[in-house]
């Protein structure tokens, strides 16, 4: 039984490349063995910046799912779905918008940054300002605890936490909350009930964070509680009302060490990528023509690996022994650059072989992919509807 739920999304804006694989997908593939995982295609998020070119999004949605599957995301372990196929995200986004202070959105560092970066496009739109709010709805609707993201997204997770807190504070008070919470404590059973009370007192009177953590762990282990009682007890711990939306945490992924072909960050806009399913000849050609230390004009000129993009690839793909061979060979002009590149070519091709095979299987039978996504969307909708029922009830919208 999993106690922690992981959720992450990716915007469909083009083919995935090795940077995505080493920076994000490898991590997802690891997480799917450790947590309950939900991974989704954030197509509405892509629309916030690509509203004028929606055809790119449409194409990228299926390509991206195939890229995930090719890389080793396992649909029997993780739930894969498309954001726009779970319209509950939009409903929560709307309801949260009622209580989201404008200042919180305007203050987001990504807001100004992206507007400046994509200056060719008019991003002074309502949808773009609401980008982090839509992301918050994505997370909160699944009551996800852990959200794997890169450094740049941490403010969005912090914003989501503040929003959850604000929501719970505004709407989490139900009539008879204390009595209901006390009744729920009894359902924990004698020993656990006593432990819960002790930990709660320690946290509330002494601010003991460890006690809070232990009490949360105790509740997480408690599978016989109803969802409502569970949330009451989580809320009661901190002295608030019922906890309707859960505060997530950012699960920081170490920044990808995968550089692009020119030594800059690998990125489509720098035109320095190797895509996940690039054909073999093209991979070999791109690496063979990579720039190297410019000081090595002739084969007999010694070089300096630390300023060579190929060396960065060795850092990702080579064992210590081979790195030593490069260091030695390069600085003494003992090896040529083409010789140095060959093991990198071999390693990338080797890494991509199973990906190419898996991708072929899905391309040969597109219904496989459609079915995986249909199943995932159905499962996601069930989870999302459960939260929406509670949200509507808390906001007094369950008339009609």
Q: How far apart are CA 333 and CA 278, in angstroms?
A: 32
Cα-atom radius of gyration of the chain, to the nearest Å? Answer: 25
Q: Closest distance between ligand TRP and the C-beta of residue 83, in Å?
A: 7
The crossing angle, in degrees rounded to 10, of helices 337-364 and 366-394 is 80
Q: Across the beta sheet with 5-10, what order do the strands follow? A: 78-82, 36-41, 5-10, 146-149, 249-252
305: partner contacted, choices ligand SF4, ligand TRP, none (Cβ within 5-8 A by kind): ligand SF4
Among 273, 305, 373, 388, binds ligand SF4 (CB under 6 A): 305
Site for ligand SF4 in 313-332 (CB under 6 A): 326, 330
138 binds ligand TRP (CB under 6 A): yes
Per-residue x/- track, 45-84, ligand TRP (CB under 6 A): x---------------------------------------
Determine the interface stretch with ligand SF4 among 23-31, 218-226, 242-250, 337-345 (rule: CB under 6 A).
337-345
Site for ligand SF4 in 338-377 (CB under 6 A): 340-341
Q: Which does 7 bind (CB under 5 to 8 A by kind): ligand SF4, ligand TRP, none?
A: ligand TRP
CA–CA separation, 3 and 78 (whole Å): 15
**Do the beta carbons of residue 154 and residue 257 sit within 8 Å?**
no
Q: Does 394 bind ligand SF4 (CB under 6 A)?
A: no
- Name the residue nearer to ligand TRP (CB basis): 64 or 215: 64
- What does DSSP say about strands 36-41 and 78-82: parallel, antiparallel, or unpaired? parallel
Of residues 204 through 263, those in contact with ligand SF4 by CB under 6 A are: none
- Nearest alpha-carbon partner for 301 in 331, 323, 338, 342: 331
Q: Is 171 exposed, middle or buried (0-12, 13-18, 19+ CB in 10 A)?
A: buried
Exactly one of 311, 317, 325, 362 binds ligand SF4 (CB under 6 A); that residue is 311
Question: 25 vs 266, which CB is nearer to ligand SF4?
Answer: 266
SS3 216: helix
> Is residue 348 a contact residue for ligand TRP (CB under 6 A)?
no
Whole-angstrom distance, CA of residue 126 vs CA of residue 105: 11
Pick the closer one to ligand SF4 by CB: 146 or 292.
292
Of residues 145-184, which lie at the interface with ligand TRP (CB under 6 A)?
147, 149, 153
**Binding of residue 11 to ligand TRP (CB under 6 A):** yes
User: Smaller CB distance to ligand SF4: residue 276 or 284?
Assistant: 284
Binding ligand TRP by CB under 6 A: which of 5, 8, 88, 260? Answer: 8
- Least spacing, CB of residue 316 vs ligand SF4, in Å: 13
292 is an interface residue for ligand SF4 by CB under 6 A = yes
Cβ-based neighbour number of residue 348 at 10 Å? 21
**CB-CB contact of 6 with 144 (8 Å):** yes
Dist. CA 389–CA 229, nearest whole Å: 15
Q: Which DSSP string do the residues of 147-159 spell out, in sequence order?
A: EEE-GGGHHHHHH
The residue ranges that bind ligand SF4 (CB under 6 A) are 292-293, 296, 303, 305, 308, 310-311, 326, 330, 335, 337, 340-341
């Amino acid at each position: 039984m999993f106690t922690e739920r992981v959720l992450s999304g990716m915007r469909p804006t083009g083919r995935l490349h090795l940077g995505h694989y080493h920076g994000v997908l490898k991590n997802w593939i690891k997480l799917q063995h450790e947590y309950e995982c939900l991974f989704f295609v954030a197509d509405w998020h892509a629309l916030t910046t690509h509203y004028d070119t929606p055809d790119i999004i449409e194409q990228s949605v299926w390509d991206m799912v195939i890229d995930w599957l090719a890389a080793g995301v396992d649909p029997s372990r993780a739930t894969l779905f498309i954001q726009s196929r779970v319209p509950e995200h939009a409903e929560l986004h709307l309801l949260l918008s009622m209580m989201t202070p404008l200042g919180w959105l305007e203050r987001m560092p990504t807001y100004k940054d992206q507007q400046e970066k994509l200056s060719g496009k008019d991003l002074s739109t309502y949808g773009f300002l609401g980008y982090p709010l839509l992301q918050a709805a994505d997370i909160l609707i699944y009551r996800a605890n852990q959200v794997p993201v890169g450094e740049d997204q941490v403010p969005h997770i912090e914003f989501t936490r503040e929003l959850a807190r604000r929501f719970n504070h505004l709407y989490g008070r139900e009539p008879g909350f204390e009595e209901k919470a006390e009744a729920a404590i009894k359902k924990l059973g004698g020993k656990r009930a006593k432990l819960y009370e002790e930990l709660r007192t320690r946290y509330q009177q002494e601010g003991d964070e460890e006690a809070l953590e232990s009490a949360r762990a105790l509740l997480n282990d408690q599978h016989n509680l109803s969802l409502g009682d569970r949330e009451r007890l989580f809320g009661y711990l901190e002295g608030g009302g019922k906890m309707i939306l859960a505060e997530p945490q950012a699960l920081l992924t170490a920044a990808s060490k995968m550089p692009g072909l020119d030594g800059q960050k690998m990125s489509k806009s720098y035109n320095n990528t190797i895509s996940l399913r690039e054909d073999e000849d093209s991979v070999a050609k791109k690496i063979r023509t990579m720039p190297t230390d410019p000081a090595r004009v002739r084969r007999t000129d010694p070089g300096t690996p630390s300023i060579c993009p190929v060396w960065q690839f060795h850092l990702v793909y080579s064992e210590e022994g081979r790195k030593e061979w490069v260091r030695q060979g390069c600085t003494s002009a003992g090896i040529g650059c083409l010789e140095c590149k060959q093991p990198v070519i071999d390693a990338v091709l080797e890494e991509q072989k199973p990906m190419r095979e898996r991708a072929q299987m899905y391309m040969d039978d597109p219904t496989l992919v459609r079915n995986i996504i249909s199943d995932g969307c159905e499962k996601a909708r069930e989870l999302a509807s459960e939260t929406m029922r509670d949200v509507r009830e808390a906001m007094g919208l369950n008339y009609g």
